[in-house]
Amino acid sequence: MTKFSWRKATLVAAVVPMLALSACSSTGGKPADSGNAAGGGQVATTDRIKIALITHAAAGDTFWDIVRKGAEEASAKDNVELLYTSDPEAGRQAQLIQQAIDQKVDGIAVTLAKPEALKDVLKKATDAGIPIVSLNAGEGVSQALGAFTHFGSNEQLAGEAVGTRLAAENFKHPVCVIQEQGHVGLEARCAGVKAKVPGTEILYVDGKDMTSVQSTATAKLQASKDADVIIGLGAPITLTLLKSVTDAGSSAKVASFDLNADLAQKIADGAVLFTVDQQPWLQGYGAVDAIWQNKRGGFKIGGGQPVLTGPAVIDKSNAADVLTFAQQGVR
């Protein structure tokens, strides 16, 4: 395993049973024969169950491909039929949760980016006896909305980790770019940065339109000559901000949250200072596996507390190692 720099951030390790996985469709079908399983392991012999994974993913965001891949691997191991749906609009995400309730799923794994819009329908799931696990966003409200555990990074802590590092490197005027206004996790990240670097400014952009992201960030850098670092809250956003820095003729450095293979390469090359990774593969895997464990034995992973999958700081010292995993789609 690669060693990571924690930079004063704490991490609660999620212990996830890493049994060998077999090839099995995430949308149905019988468990694969154990002789074909990766590493020679076996699929669980428990009764087949149906779990809905419902996220706020926007089309084309590769971050969610990694979350889904983790969920699919857990499903293959656990003899689970995985129903994956997503919508970035909170009202439509609520409709997808209702759809899962109507399908009488055995469990729901859900992201809570805009929890107020989901609370009523999640109560319906709880009332129907469907166990809920949250992931990625909403750790602060997860328990109140009926989830028995949450898999993700503490976003305030992650933001503070970034701010602490920037302050140590003498950055004084960061621009923190939020691609979805009102998203509780993204707002918490920038709040954490600002808590450590008071000169931090917030810039809102439309994350569904990368051309608009690039032009808005370019204009901001041209107008704010004292901006010394610009921070993207997701890998595709950060890669676009690199173009904005060039377009603006700015001397600002670039830092990030989250990861994909292209961003790992930019960090290895020195074009991006570092990123704080929340390890999304673990979020998808852990969420599905926790529901399976709950159904098979009443287990409640986390003991009522969030299971933290980050923050993990990736910089030039370890980016090359992480890149190997990122290219395999598991980081």
What was the pLDDT predicted at 6?
33
Mean pLDDT, residues 32-61: 74
Q: Above 60 in pLDDT, residue 24?
A: no
What pLDDT band is residue 40 in, cutting at 50, 70 and 90? very low
Q: Which of residues 328 and 5 earns the better pLDDT score?
A: 328
What was the pLDDT predicted at 60?
77
Residues 146, 226: one domain? no
Lowest mean pLDDT among 249-253, 271-275, 316-320: 316-320
CA distance readout (Å), 197 to 10, 51, 323: 19, 42, 29
What was the pLDDT predicted at 87?
95
Length of the chain: 331
93: left (phi over 0), alpha (psi -120 to 50) or beta: alpha
Give the residue from 166, 228, 169, 174 showing the smallest Cα distance to 200: 174
Which tens digits make up the pLDDT trace of 284-297? 999 999 999 999 99
Give the tokens for residue 80: 């689970």
Q: Domain of 101: which CATH number?
A: 3.40.50.2300
User: Which residue, of 259, 277, 295, is where some domain finishes?
Assistant: 277
How many CB atoms neighbour CB 273 within 10 A?
A: 20
Q: Above 90 in pLDDT, residue 7?
A: no
Give the tokens for residue 294: 């709950």
In a domain, 227, yes or no: yes
Residues 246, 287: one domain? no
Q: Which of residues 4 and 280 earns the better pLDDT score?
A: 280
What was the pLDDT predicted at 329?
67
CA distance readout (Å), 136 to 12, 57, 128, 219, 309: 15, 11, 24, 31, 9
Residue 286 domain boundaries: 34-153+280-308
What was the pLDDT predicted at 41?
59
What was the pLDDT predicted at 43?
87
Residues 165, 268: one domain? yes
DSSP single-letter state for residue 40: G
Q: Which percentage of the chain shows pLDDT scores above 90?
A: 76
Cis preceding linkage at 88, omega within 30:
no
DSSP single-letter state for residue 117: G
Are 108 and 99 contacting, i.e. CB atoms less than 8 angstroms apart? no
Q: Which of residues 59 and 235 earns the better pLDDT score?
A: 235
d(CA 90, CA 113): 8
What was the pLDDT predicted at 201?
98
Tokens 């439309």 identify what position? 206
In a domain, 327, yes or no: no
Residues 175, 246: one domain? yes
Number of domain units in the chain: 2
The pTM for the full model equals: 0.78
Q: What mean pLDDT value characterizes the chain?
A: 87
- Could you tell me the sign of the dihedral formed by the alpha carbons of 41, 278, 59, 107, in that order? positive
In a domain, 138, yes or no: yes
Mean pLDDT, residues 160-173: 97
Residue 158 has phi, psi (to 5 degrees) of -60, -45
Residues 164, 262: one domain? yes
If residue 253 lies in a helix (H) or strand (E), which one and from where to where?
strand 253-257
Give the tokens for residue 171: 């950055």
Which tens digits make up the pLDDT trace of 72-97? 999 999 999 999 999 999 999 999 99
Q: Which percentage of the chain shows pLDDT scores above 70?
A: 87
Q: Which of residues 208 and 10 earns the better pLDDT score?
A: 208
Residues 149, 289: one domain? yes
Residues 83, 227: one domain? no
Who contacts 198 (Cβ-Cβ below 8 Å, separation ≥6)? none
What was the pLDDT predicted at 330?
67
Q: Above 80 in pLDDT, residue 38?
A: no
Q: Above 90 in pLDDT, residue 42?
A: no
